[in-house]
Structure 1
């Protein structure tokens, strides 16, 4: 989506600064993963998509969705883990055997319990999405043994990838440890995933939501991606750039638009329930419902990220994501994968 940058910059410099993430150019604070955290931000209006609200209220954007829907929901999944602890022991044992350490291999495999990994639950997730008529976007890692954060091979999920594509959903790259800051790593991982899929990979999200403004956007453009969906905080849900519409970001160093579409990430399961916001079910639903209402009011796109590990048994995560889908449909949402939203959605300027 093209934003009238000059109008926004001249009429609302405060919103322009939020839209471009100016404070991330000027504030050197980063956490252990190289991320700019919400706690370091001067912007405390995180739960309102203030830039999108202004653009919509001023008639600078007029989104239209298929079937006359009033707004959109993107359900996405970061696949970090597919093996529970026993399966990691088996995997480590096999790697030890391959490296010639037979004693360690026997010890690792022998200590693993014989049960199915609860995280290898892709069919269950696809079945739930089929129930609601949802197509989604899945981000898979493309790492090899010995590389940081390696947890599974693409060959371990090759059949799953086919099931996802057959369901009409989309597969993107979940960039590894160094990928957001290194073009060579981006290209290596992108090529690996494309080789397995047999088609071009257009979408990207970083592991741990690692991101550096504007460097990561520039690298993704150079690597040939069409869109990114990393721009969200790990330590708090909300609207980091004030946007709930896909847009092309601007590099403040050059004053030029970057040829990559940003789908800002708004709600993530890990942020709501675990080491960050630590909400209970009712508290999580209150803030999520308010976000749905805000996005609906300016005909935006709400992007949520639910890991496959969040669909185990009757967890809070699983209950909330199902409630998000049901409530959004009731409110008139069109739900599709990101590659579906990029092209059929019209933004009249």
Structure 2
């Protein structure tokens, strides 16, 4: 165990020290405000306050962990062994910046509570983040800092037995459209047929006709292949099903269709299944509840995990709504427009609610990349995408983190905008599991 002396033990102090030391470095931590207790302790210890007590392991504290609410902050970015960092300290401090305040700033998503301009879908954009502006979005800096910090701890306290965590990979699949043409309502099928015909999309017109008439299989029905690859590469896989009512942004098969229900039940037998709350659930708690209950009625199991459709979430409201509905895990933490680490970490963390100043029971699983980001936003080829995937995986592997990817069943279809992308998913699994 490591003992931390600080002048005041706040919920923020407890939260971030436990995240860095216990969840990331697997070192139990305890706190004291009593100097005599700190001096008498013989194990690993450090002081986190304004001035050192003596010549102990000392980190000069920034005010952030002793404040409440959200304020405008000033940043000076410097380098610590070539890694960007901020909240600089002084020469008396063992490390040149406040690792705990910096980590808290990124993980709590402090910047997303400040006034900002949302994109057309009502989302916080990567471009406004500190990580994007200072070019460290593609590095899990919180974990890199933690491991550098561990090296110093090991030098200072060589007799302590340190444990090592293992690298983990999780493949997540969003089901926005389980089928391209099958099991859609008569109105949608006929409307789509004439729409394609009117726009001279003759290939799509033929494919729609052939699928509906059972001449061809549906191009988006790639579930058997995903399950085969899951088994072959022994990959932890989670499917997130969109089962909201039809809107411009939510175009999946109706959740009342027997075949769609059957598909969901089948996936439950082979993998984990979560809810993909529809576009308008971001700030609509009643709609979120309705969809959660709908999925629970299909699976006969409580819904424990979720990822927002279009990655639309607003802090803290969306997460507060999930907590109220007893959802335990959220997988929305990432950007649609950029790959990388939105919260600066590749370690799952508990959501800290800055409104109430408490650690909540909602565990956030940040993903590193999404297929539509690579294709639609970054305009990369499958080959270029594989290079980016390899780089991100190496960043996570270097700190024994959790590498999470977001793909869609459509990606494996080799159809329409996914032409030429058919093999990318399997190639990624090879890289991620090697």
**Structure 1 length normalisation: TM-score?**
0.81
The structure-2 alpha-carbon separation of the partners of 1:229 and 1:32, relative to structure 1 and needing over 3 Å to count, comes to same
Q: Distance in 2 between matches of 1:104 and 1:58?
A: 60
CA deviations 1:91-145 (Å, max 9, x no partner) are: 342579xxxxxx989979x975122320022112211222212230000012234
Task: Check if 1:272 corresponds to 2:377.
Answer: no
Task: Check if 1:4 corresponds to 2:27.
Answer: no
Q: How does 1:217-256 map to 2 (within 5 A)?
A: 217-256=319-358
Q: Distance in 2 between matches of 1:21 and 1:105?
A: 41
Match of 1:308 among 406, 409, 412: 409
Preserved CA contact (<8 Å) 1:249 1:261: yes
Q: Which residue of 2 aligns with 1:324?
A: 428
Match of 1:73 among 169, 176, 179: 169
CA deviations 1:162-218 (Å, max 9, x no partner) are: 332222x10000010221212111110000000000111100001000011222111
Preserved CA contact (<8 Å) 1:248 1:261: yes
Q: Which residue of 1 aligns with 2:54?
A: none
CA deviations 1:46-71 (Å, max 9, x no partner) are: 1000012223443499663xxxxx30
- Of 280-289 and 197-206, more deviation after overlay is shown by 280-289
Task: Check if 1:93 corresponds to 2:194.
Answer: no
* Deviation, structure 1 residue 147: 8.3
Task: Check if 1:25 corresponds to 2:113.
Answer: yes
Q: How does 1:50-199 map to 2 (within 5 A)?
A: 50-59=141-150, 64=165, 70-84=166-180, 87=181, 91-94=184-187, 112-115=208-211, 116-145=217-246, 149-154=250-255, 155=257, 156-167=259-270, 169-199=271-301
The structure-2 alpha-carbon separation of the partners of 1:63 and 1:246, relative to structure 1 and needing over 3 Å to count, comes to farther
Preserved CA contact (<8 Å) 1:148 1:177: yes
Q: Distance in 2 between matches of 1:105 and 1:273?
A: 24
Preserved CA contact (<8 Å) 1:71 1:296: yes
Q: Distance in 1 between matches of 2:317 and 2:429?
A: 34
Larger Rg: 2
- Of 110-119 and 284-293, more deviation after overlay is shown by 110-119
Q: Which residue of 1 aligns with 2:72?
A: none
Q: Which residue of 2 aligns with 1:49?
A: 140
Q: Distance in 2 between matches of 1:316 and 1:106?
A: 25
* Deviation, structure 1 residue 296: 0.9
- Structure with greater contact order relative to length (CA < 8 Å, sep ≥ 6): 1
Q: Distance in 2 between matches of 1:32 and 1:104?
A: 27
Preserved CA contact (<8 Å) 1:93 1:106: no
Can you give the 5+ residue segments of structure 2 that lack an aligned partner in the other structure?
1-14, 20-47, 49-60, 66-97, 154-161, 198-204, 212-216
* Deviation, structure 1 residue 219: 1.2
Task: Check if 1:299 corresponds to 2:400.
Answer: yes
Q: Distance in 2 between matches of 1:202 and 1:43?
A: 30
CA deviations 1:197-255 (Å, max 9, x no partner) are: 01111000010000112221111111110110001000001000011011102122332
Preserved CA contact (<8 Å) 1:143 1:152: no
Preserved CA contact (<8 Å) 2:268 2:299: no
Preserved CA contact (<8 Å) 2:16 2:103: no
Can you give the 5+ residue segments of structure 1 that lack an aligned partner in the other structure?
65-69, 97-102, 331-349
Q: Distance in 1 between matches of 2:331 and 2:303?
A: 14
Preserved CA contact (<8 Å) 1:82 1:152: yes
Preserved CA contact (<8 Å) 1:78 1:140: yes
Q: Distance in 1 between matches of 2:351 and 2:357?
A: 10
* Deviation, structure 1 residue 3: 4.2
Q: Distance in 2 between matches of 1:49 and 1:73?
A: 15
